[in-house]
Amino acid sequence: MKHAVHFGAGNIGRGFIAPVLQDNDCEVIFVDVNTDIVNQINEQGQYTIKSLDINGFNKQKIKNIRAVHLEDTQKLNEVLLSADIVTTSVGPKFVEGIFEKVAMLDHKEEQVFIAFENMYRASSNTGSKIKSPNPNLKIIDAVVDKIVPPQPLMSLDVVVETYGSIILDDATELQPLDSSKIVSYKNYENEFYKKLWLLNGLHLKLAYYGLSKGNFYIDEIISSTEGREFAEQAVKSLSEAYYLFSKTDENLDDFGRTILDRFALPDIKDQVDRIARNPEIKFSKNERFEYPLRLLINNNKDVNTFRIVLDIIIHEDFPQVEGFSSFNKTVLKKGKTNIYSEFWEIGNYSDNYIERLGL
């Protein structure tokens, strides 16, 4: 049996990464900064995952797990030195510190590091900043996709959607995980932007569309005729942007329908306020809204759903959304032309952007 050390015993770590690692014949050892979670894992040694989809739910018991506190340096180094795979789901800003702990150890056998983070090339970009003296440490990038709603604080049990995807970069010779219904090896660049635009970008659009309609959950938008039509139109335009980017003839019909089915799950309790948070990052240049919009405008394609969302954030106020008030004050209040020229840094925006999105 292989040994896997996973940093982050939160909802994604317990609800998605751990079962995938166990399916790959790995003993899973969690590392976390939360003393209560570490103690719970070591005392109980198991938990239940409830997976939801449009057909109902199923349950899976995760057993034979243990945990180490991040600050317990001696135990942490012991488990890292015996690990075949080291993975993370801690949030992008913490990956560098974790990688440094791994990279500075003298591991005698090959070890693979995978950052399962919602961040562009989280593994290799981190590895490029911190040069490991260990030639046995290998790095591979991953695109991870799983919706995990907010969970009760007192239980290790996790509720997740049934759908899950891990796509590993096929540009390397590494294959640390077996290919399966969940794990595959593909072109990283295409898969990252497919997920960022069609999933995260659609999520963002629906969140602000829902806020403007007084919706509380994403599924409420999909269940209405008007909301479903908006979502389908948004998927179509985001797919068109992906085709322009990837220059592939990949059929995205099933992928788009699957995303809408996932968002339609009422039991996920996908809050629009949560999805809409940190708008200054999500609406920024090269992100999930601006980048596909730019490709569509430059190629004279439909941008109606982008215009609708842009009008919503310009003309409405959402103080309940984390980060919106600051974004509104520093960017939105200055108007659309400021967004085009300053926030998105578009040099010659006047004709196309004003014509398609307005002043």
Query: Number of structural domains, the chain?
Result: 2
Q: What is the rounded CA–CA span in Å between residue 116 and residue 95? A: 10
Taking alpha carbons only, the member of 101, 90, 120 closest to residue 6 is: 90
CATH number, position 303:
1.10.1040.10
Domain final residue, candidates 186, 221, 239: 186
Question: Is the same domain home to 212 and 182?
Answer: no
Taking alpha carbons only, the member of 313, 309, 203, 312 closest to residue 264 is: 203
Question: Is the same domain home to 259 and 203?
Answer: yes
Question: Is the same domain home to 141 and 285?
Answer: no
Q: C-alpha 92: how far from its chain's center?
A: 10
Domain final residue, candidates 186, 220, 241: 186
Question: Is the same domain home to 28 and 116?
Answer: yes
- Helix %, strand %, coil % for the chain, to 5? 50, 20, 35
Question: Residue 32 pairs with which residues in a beta bridge?
Answer: 69
Helices marked H in the chain — which ranges?
A: 11-12, 18-23, 35-44, 73-81, 95-103, 122-129, 188-194, 202-213, 218-223, 225-246, 253-263, 272-276, 279-282, 290-298, 304-315, 324-330, 336-338, 350-357
Domain that residue 157 falls in: 2-186
Question: Is the same domain home to 172 and 204?
Answer: no
CATH number, position 152:
3.40.50.720
Q: Could you identify the residue written with the tokens 């590993």?
A: 168
Question: Is the same domain home to 253 and 315?
Answer: yes
Question: Is the same domain home to 85 and 203?
Answer: no
Question: Is the same domain home to 181 and 200?
Answer: no
Written as tens digits, the pLDDT of the chain (359 aa) is 999 999 999 999 999 999 999 999 999 999 999 999 999 999 999 999 999 988 889 999 999 999 999 999 999 999 999 999 999 999 999 999 999 999 999 888 999 999 999 999 999 999 999 888 889 999 999 999 999 887 877 899 999 999 999 999 999 999 999 999 999 999 999 999 999 999 999 999 999 999 999 999 999 999 999 999 999 999 999 999 999 999 999 999 999 999 999 999 998 889 999 999 999 999 999 999 999 999 999 999 999 999 999 999 999 999 999 999 999 999 999 999 999 999 999 987 667 899 999 98
Question: Is the same domain home to 316 and 353?
Answer: yes
Q: Residue 167 is inside which H or E element, if any? A: strand 165-169
Q: What is the DSSP letter of 271?
A: B
Question: Is the same domain home to 195 and 180?
Answer: no
Question: Is the same domain home to 304 and 233?
Answer: yes
- Answer whether 117's CB lies under 8 Å from 92's CB: yes
- Model-wide pTM > 0.85: yes
Domain final residue, candidates 152, 186, 220: 186
Question: Is the same domain home to 220 and 105?
Answer: no
Q: What is the rounded CA–CA span in Å between residue 292 and residue 168? A: 23
